[in-house]
Amino acid sequence: MMKPLSHSQLNLLSQITALALPVPPENVPCLTVANMVNFHADRVKYLDGDAAMSPKEWQESLSRIQQDDQLMDLHILASIDRPYNGLHSLCFSDKSRERGILTFRGTVSLGGWIDNYRGGFVADTPQQASALAFKHRMDRTYHFKTYDLAGHSKGGNCAQYITILEGNTIDRCLTFNAPGFSAEFLEKYNDGINAYQHKITAYEGAYDMVNVLLNSVAGERIMVDKGSIDPNQNHKPNRFLDARGQIRRRRKRNPILVAMQNATIGLTFAAKDAKAHVQEMNQKRKKKKKTGTHS
């Protein structure tokens, strides 16, 4: 079995998930990380805005991958892109095909933003369901013994979602500035959360405004000093790595953002209670109407 990747290596894979594939989807199984990284390294000046990273930042990340033989030798076996709900994911593995690595991109499309909104009020969103279906397709196609999952922003939320639902097949889940889940999710998947949250490590920028949204299910939340108090700089996936390419040092979360997180958590439970109240009132009306019809 392939040697498990380090946390910084999984961060780099989650970064390149934001980049366009250099070949048509049907040719993806013939693609290596080296093919993809070298393609974009030759055109790095055009990578402005992908994952909110500048061409200079992309040059640094691509160069780090080019110096890492283990990453460069990985194969990209499959991809999925669903603009209508925002899902974009890649599946990596080495020649042994024993460990699958699924990485998930953050929000780009309008469909993704709509899915983000839904995530605060329902247990399962269309993007999360599509992510799980992609994992099931990889199960059927490659029969991996285990998986590592990683993702940035909403992509990290999808990775955590799969881990809670199917944690018996997941070795590790690493996420970077991932938002949390609704109160409905906590209720519906309470058993899965208790059983598998220890497999989830959530890296979170101390001044990021996304990772404080909703209810976290991560077994370990690591606050990282990303070298800036600018929320835009704190959200970028590459900013988790220092000049040596390692995860940056820890620091405490901004107190204002702690208060923001508590507020969004309260909102999810208030929304859940309001929804339950409306459903109860509707049931009473239906029952009353039915009783009146038979009288």
Please write the tens of the pLDDT for every residue from 171-216.
999 999 999 999 999 999 999 999 999 999 999 999 999 999 999 9
Non-local CB neighbours of 116 within 8 Å, separated by 6+ positions: 86, 107, 154, 179
Mean local confidence (pLDDT), 117-138: 96
| Lowest-pLDDT range of 73-77, 125-129, 195-199, 282-286 | 282-286
pLDDT tens digits along 81-99: 999 999 999 999 999 999 9
Residue pointed to by tokens 């101390």: 206
Q: Which residues pair with 113 in a beta bridge?
A: none
Residue 48: what pLDDT?
A: 78
The sign of the torsion formed by the CA atoms of 234, 235, 236, 239 equals: positive
Residue 220: what pLDDT?
A: 98
In total, the chain counts a number of residues equal to 295
Yes or no: say if 143 and 100 are a contact pair by the CB < 8 Å rule: no
Residue 156 predicted with pLDDT over 90: yes
CA dihedral 141→144→150→153, nearest 10 degrees, is 30
What is the DSSP secondary-structure string of 24-38? -GGGGGGEEHHHHHH
Instruction: Work out the number of other CB atoms within 10 angstroms of the CB of residue 255.
Output: 8
Residue 18 predicted with pLDDT over 90: yes
Question: Coil, strand or helix: which one is 213?
Answer: coil
Spell out where 63-104 has E strands: 75-82, 87-93, 99-104
Is the pLDDT higher at 88 or at 274? Answer: 88
Residue 136 predicted with pLDDT over 70: yes
What percent of the residues of the chain are helix, what percent strand, and what percent coil, each to the nearest 5?
A: 50, 20, 30
DSSP 8-state assignment for residue 198: G
Q: From CA 88, how far away is CA 14, in angstroms rounded? A: 11
| Residue 293 binned pLDDT confidence (cut-offs 50, 70, 90) | low
* Single-letter amino acid, residue 144: F
Element (H, E) at 270: helix 255-294
DSSP 8-state assignment for residue 22: S
**Which domains are present in the chain?**
7-292 (3.40.50)
Mean pLDDT of the chain: 93
